[in-house]
Amino acid sequence: MFVRVTADSAPRPNSLRDLGMTSDSNTLVSLSEFSYRKGTEIYGEKEPAEYVYQVKSGAVRSYKLLSDGRRQIGAFHLTGDIFGLENGSEHRFTTEAIVDTAVRLIKRQSLETVAESDAMVARNLLSMTTSNLQHAEDHMLLLGRKTSLERVAAFLLEMDKRLTAAGVIALPMSRRDIADYLGLTLETVSRALSRLHELGVLGFVGNTQRQIVLLDRNQLANLDLQS
Protein backbone atom coordinates (compact mmCIF):
# COMPACT_ATOMS: atom_id res chain seq x y z
CA MET A 1 0.00 0.00 0.00
CA PHE A 2 1.49 3.34 -1.11
CA VAL A 3 1.33 6.64 0.75
CA ARG A 4 2.09 9.13 -1.98
CA VAL A 5 4.37 12.05 -1.14
CA THR A 6 5.40 13.49 -4.52
CA ALA A 7 5.51 12.69 -8.19
CA ASP A 8 8.10 14.24 -10.52
CA SER A 9 9.08 13.99 -14.13
CA ALA A 10 12.56 14.30 -14.77
CA PRO A 11 18.25 15.48 -19.74
CA ARG A 12 19.65 12.35 -21.13
CA PRO A 13 20.79 9.89 -18.40
CA ASN A 14 24.31 8.46 -18.50
CA SER A 15 24.06 6.30 -15.40
CA LEU A 16 21.49 4.96 -12.99
CA ARG A 17 22.21 7.96 -10.80
CA ASP A 18 21.32 10.31 -13.67
CA LEU A 19 18.44 8.07 -14.60
CA GLY A 20 16.57 9.53 -11.71
CA MET A 21 17.22 7.35 -8.70
CA THR A 22 18.89 10.28 -7.01
CA SER A 23 18.24 13.07 -9.49
CA ASP A 24 15.31 15.43 -9.58
CA SER A 25 15.52 16.10 -13.31
CA ASN A 26 14.95 13.55 -16.04
CA THR A 27 12.57 14.04 -18.93
CA LEU A 28 12.79 10.41 -20.05
CA VAL A 29 11.36 8.78 -16.96
CA SER A 30 8.70 9.46 -14.39
CA LEU A 31 9.70 9.24 -10.76
CA SER A 32 7.54 8.97 -7.70
CA GLU A 33 8.29 9.09 -4.01
CA PHE A 34 6.35 7.20 -1.37
CA SER A 35 6.59 6.82 2.37
CA TYR A 36 5.85 3.68 4.38
CA ARG A 37 5.25 3.34 8.07
CA LYS A 38 7.26 0.82 10.07
CA GLY A 39 6.11 -2.71 9.25
CA THR A 40 4.19 -1.71 6.09
CA GLU A 41 4.48 -3.96 3.04
CA ILE A 42 6.02 -2.31 -0.03
CA TYR A 43 5.29 -5.17 -2.41
CA GLY A 44 4.41 -8.82 -2.03
CA GLU A 45 5.89 -12.04 -3.38
CA LYS A 46 4.51 -12.92 -6.83
CA GLU A 47 3.13 -9.42 -7.39
CA PRO A 48 3.96 -7.90 -10.81
CA ALA A 49 7.48 -6.41 -10.84
CA GLU A 50 6.48 -3.12 -12.45
CA TYR A 51 8.80 -0.80 -10.52
CA VAL A 52 12.40 -0.55 -9.33
CA TYR A 53 12.94 1.07 -5.95
CA GLN A 54 15.61 3.03 -4.11
CA VAL A 55 15.70 3.64 -0.37
CA LYS A 56 15.81 7.39 0.23
CA SER A 57 15.70 7.07 4.01
CA GLY A 58 15.02 4.25 6.43
CA ALA A 59 15.52 0.54 5.77
CA VAL A 60 13.73 -2.35 4.04
CA ARG A 61 13.79 -6.13 4.47
CA SER A 62 13.13 -8.70 1.74
CA TYR A 63 11.81 -12.05 2.91
CA LYS A 64 9.94 -15.26 2.14
CA LEU A 65 7.58 -17.13 4.41
CA LEU A 66 8.43 -20.84 4.48
CA SER A 67 5.81 -23.58 4.37
CA ASP A 68 6.10 -24.09 8.15
CA GLY A 69 5.46 -20.42 8.85
CA ARG A 70 9.04 -19.42 9.49
CA ARG A 71 10.39 -16.26 7.89
CA GLN A 72 13.66 -16.19 5.93
CA ILE A 73 15.05 -12.73 5.28
CA GLY A 74 17.09 -12.61 2.10
CA ALA A 75 18.45 -9.07 2.24
CA PHE A 76 18.39 -5.74 4.02
CA HIS A 77 18.13 -2.64 1.83
CA LEU A 78 19.60 0.50 3.38
CA THR A 79 19.71 4.17 2.41
CA GLY A 80 20.83 4.51 -1.22
CA ASP A 81 20.26 0.84 -2.06
CA ILE A 82 18.27 -0.10 -5.16
CA PHE A 83 15.97 -3.12 -4.90
CA GLY A 84 13.10 -4.81 -6.70
CA LEU A 85 15.03 -5.38 -9.94
CA GLU A 86 13.87 -8.82 -11.08
CA ASN A 87 14.82 -11.15 -13.91
CA GLY A 88 11.23 -12.27 -14.34
CA SER A 89 7.89 -10.54 -14.39
CA GLU A 90 7.09 -11.13 -10.70
CA HIS A 91 8.72 -10.27 -7.40
CA ARG A 92 10.41 -13.24 -5.72
CA PHE A 93 10.28 -11.77 -2.22
CA THR A 94 7.98 -9.69 -0.07
CA THR A 95 9.43 -6.41 1.14
CA GLU A 96 8.55 -4.37 4.22
CA ALA A 97 9.71 -1.15 5.81
CA ILE A 98 11.78 -1.97 8.90
CA VAL A 99 11.37 1.57 10.22
CA ASP A 100 9.51 4.56 8.83
CA THR A 101 10.94 4.63 5.31
CA ALA A 102 10.85 6.76 2.15
CA VAL A 103 11.54 5.22 -1.26
CA ARG A 104 11.74 6.45 -4.82
CA LEU A 105 10.14 4.46 -7.62
CA ILE A 106 10.88 4.28 -11.31
CA LYS A 107 8.94 2.20 -13.80
CA ARG A 108 10.93 -0.88 -14.77
CA GLN A 109 9.84 -0.48 -18.39
CA SER A 110 11.31 3.04 -18.41
CA LEU A 111 14.65 1.69 -17.20
CA GLU A 112 14.66 -1.05 -19.81
CA THR A 113 13.75 1.37 -22.60
CA VAL A 114 16.58 3.75 -21.72
CA ALA A 115 19.03 0.84 -21.31
CA GLU A 116 18.35 -0.24 -24.90
CA SER A 117 19.94 2.97 -26.21
CA ASP A 118 22.32 3.86 -23.36
CA ALA A 119 25.30 1.54 -22.89
CA MET A 120 26.23 2.94 -19.48
CA VAL A 121 22.75 2.39 -18.09
CA ALA A 122 22.80 -1.13 -19.52
CA ARG A 123 26.17 -1.82 -17.87
CA ASN A 124 24.91 -0.47 -14.57
CA LEU A 125 21.83 -2.69 -14.74
CA LEU A 126 24.08 -5.70 -15.44
CA SER A 127 26.37 -4.71 -12.58
CA MET A 128 23.41 -4.47 -10.21
CA THR A 129 22.12 -7.87 -11.29
CA THR A 130 25.58 -9.43 -10.85
CA SER A 131 25.93 -7.84 -7.42
CA ASN A 132 22.56 -9.20 -6.34
CA LEU A 133 23.56 -12.68 -7.52
CA GLN A 134 26.84 -12.49 -5.62
CA HIS A 135 25.02 -11.46 -2.46
CA ALA A 136 22.61 -14.38 -2.85
CA GLU A 137 25.52 -16.82 -3.28
CA ASP A 138 27.35 -15.40 -0.26
CA HIS A 139 24.19 -15.61 1.81
CA MET A 140 23.63 -19.23 0.78
CA LEU A 141 27.20 -20.08 1.86
CA LEU A 142 26.66 -18.29 5.16
CA LEU A 143 23.47 -20.26 5.89
CA GLY A 144 24.85 -23.61 4.78
CA ARG A 145 28.43 -23.70 5.99
CA LYS A 146 29.03 -21.30 8.86
CA THR A 147 28.57 -21.73 12.59
CA SER A 148 26.29 -19.41 14.53
CA LEU A 149 29.19 -17.28 15.76
CA GLU A 150 30.61 -17.07 12.24
CA ARG A 151 27.23 -15.97 10.92
CA VAL A 152 26.88 -13.17 13.45
CA ALA A 153 30.47 -12.09 12.82
CA ALA A 154 29.84 -12.04 9.05
CA PHE A 155 26.67 -10.00 9.58
CA LEU A 156 28.47 -7.43 11.71
CA LEU A 157 31.26 -7.12 9.14
CA GLU A 158 28.65 -6.57 6.42
CA MET A 159 26.86 -3.90 8.45
CA ASP A 160 30.20 -2.29 9.34
CA LYS A 161 30.80 -1.66 5.63
CA ARG A 162 27.29 -0.40 4.99
CA LEU A 163 26.15 1.43 8.11
CA THR A 164 29.02 2.69 10.24
CA ALA A 165 28.97 6.43 10.89
CA ALA A 166 31.18 8.17 13.45
CA GLY A 167 32.50 4.76 14.47
CA VAL A 168 29.09 3.37 15.43
CA ILE A 169 26.96 0.77 13.63
CA ALA A 170 23.38 1.95 14.09
CA LEU A 171 21.26 -1.11 13.31
CA PRO A 172 17.71 -0.35 12.13
CA MET A 173 16.74 -4.02 12.33
CA SER A 174 15.81 -5.97 15.43
CA ARG A 175 17.54 -9.09 16.72
CA ARG A 176 14.58 -11.07 15.40
CA ASP A 177 15.31 -9.68 11.94
CA ILE A 178 18.98 -10.59 12.32
CA ALA A 179 18.03 -14.11 13.41
CA ASP A 180 15.73 -14.57 10.41
CA TYR A 181 18.46 -13.28 8.10
CA LEU A 182 21.09 -15.63 9.54
CA GLY A 183 18.83 -18.68 9.89
CA LEU A 184 19.26 -18.72 13.67
CA THR A 185 17.03 -18.40 16.70
CA LEU A 186 16.65 -15.12 18.54
CA GLU A 187 18.32 -16.65 21.59
CA THR A 188 21.33 -17.82 19.57
CA VAL A 189 21.88 -14.35 18.12
CA SER A 190 21.67 -12.81 21.59
CA ARG A 191 24.15 -15.33 22.98
CA ALA A 192 26.57 -14.71 20.11
CA LEU A 193 26.44 -10.94 20.58
CA SER A 194 26.96 -11.35 24.31
CA ARG A 195 29.93 -13.64 23.66
CA LEU A 196 31.49 -11.10 21.28
CA HIS A 197 30.98 -8.45 23.94
CA GLU A 198 32.69 -10.64 26.55
CA LEU A 199 35.63 -11.18 24.16
CA GLY A 200 36.04 -7.43 23.80
CA VAL A 201 35.21 -7.52 20.10
CA LEU A 202 32.30 -5.09 20.35
CA GLY A 203 30.60 -2.68 22.69
CA PHE A 204 27.01 -1.48 22.97
CA VAL A 205 25.77 2.11 23.03
CA GLY A 206 22.37 2.86 24.53
CA ASN A 207 19.75 0.67 26.16
CA THR A 208 18.42 -0.95 22.97
CA GLN A 209 21.86 -2.34 22.07
CA ARG A 210 21.17 -1.54 18.41
CA GLN A 211 24.12 0.83 18.32
CA ILE A 212 27.31 -1.20 18.21
CA VAL A 213 30.95 -0.16 18.30
CA LEU A 214 33.44 -2.62 16.83
CA LEU A 215 36.46 -2.64 19.13
CA ASP A 216 38.48 -5.33 17.36
CA ARG A 217 37.71 -5.77 13.65
CA ASN A 218 40.66 -8.10 13.11
CA GLN A 219 39.43 -10.52 15.76
CA LEU A 220 35.93 -10.32 14.31
CA ALA A 221 37.26 -11.13 10.85
CA ASN A 222 39.21 -14.08 12.27
CA LEU A 223 36.08 -15.40 13.96
CA ASP A 224 34.26 -15.18 10.65
CA LEU A 225 36.95 -17.21 8.95
CA GLN A 226 37.97 -19.72 11.62
CA SER A 227 35.35 -20.34 14.32
CATH of the domain at 52: 2.60.120.10
Average pLDDT over all residues of the chain: 84
Tally the domains of the chain: 2
Cα–Cα distance measured from residue 219 to residue 54, given in angstroms and rounded to the nearest whole number: 34
pLDDT tier at 9, thresholds 50, 70, 90: very low
pLDDT of residue 95: 98
Segments forming the whole domain that contains residue 56: 3-143
Q: Which of 5-19, 86-100, 116-130, 155-169 has the lowest mean pLDDT?
A: 5-19
3-class SS of residue 227: coil
β-pair type (3-9, 51-57):
unpaired
How does pLDDT run across 208-218, given as a tens digit for each residue?
A: 788 999 999 99
Q: 87, 120, 143: which is the final residue of a domain?
A: 143
Same domain, 137 and 25: yes
Q: 143, 163, 191: which is the final residue of a domain?
A: 143
How does pLDDT run across 169-206, given as a tens digit for each residue?
A: 999 999 999 999 999 999 999 999 999 999 999 999 98
Same domain, 138 and 154: no
Cα–Cα distance measured from residue 165 to residue 215, given in angstroms and rounded to the nearest whole number: 14
CB 81 within 8 A of CB 93: no
C-alpha closest to that of 155 among 187, 130, 180, 127: 180
pLDDT of residue 190: 95
How does pLDDT run across 17-38, given as a tens digit for each residue?
A: 655 555 554 556 667 899 999 9
Same domain, 136 and 155: no
Same domain, 128 and 111: yes
CATH number assigned to the domain comprising residue 194: 1.10.10.10
Q: 94, 125, 143: which is the final residue of a domain?
A: 143
